[in-house]
Amino acid sequence: MVDQRVGGWAFILGVLVAIIAGILAAAAMTYSGWITFVLVILGLIVGFLNIKDKEVTGFLIAAIALMAVGTANLAAIPYAGIYLAYIVQNVAAFVAPAALVVALTEVYNIARKRK
């Protein structure tokens, strides 16, 4: 129960930090390393605590989709594009560690079942 609560708050906080840091990208450039560090830590927490066995496939597909969106040239969109690009970049920094944890756990579970 506590794990779900902590994981839920980590997810909400991670998304909020990603969005706010993306919107304030120019002002937050000085702290971009720390922002990424916080997003990675929150992503690891989400990966360890939030994603259950039934959610693995959907989560990994969504993570792949987010990474693909990150390759789009969002900065070319007038006015808001640069902010969208930074937001997506931050969300990717948040989701990637969670996807790594979930993928490695799933590989381990598959290898363990083979015996």
Alpha-carbon distance 52 to 57, whole Å? 10
pLDDT tens digits along 71-107: 888 888 898 888 898 999 999 999 999 999 999 999 9
Residues 16/94, Cβ–Cβ less than 8 Å: no
Which one-letter DSSP state was computed for residue 34? H
Could you tell me the residue ranges of all domains in the chain? 2-113
Tell whether the model's pLDDT for residue 3 goes beyond 80.
Answer: no
Mean pLDDT of 14-31: 84
Mean pLDDT of 2-28: 84
Confidence tier at 29 by pLDDT (50, 70, 90): confident
Which one-letter DSSP state was computed for residue 77? S
Which structure tokens are listed for 1? 């129960």
Residues 10/17, Cβ–Cβ less than 8 Å: no
Mean pLDDT of the chain: 88
Q: The whole model's pTM is what? A: 0.86
Which structure tokens are listed for 91? 């969300």
pLDDT tens digits along 40-49: 999 999 999 8
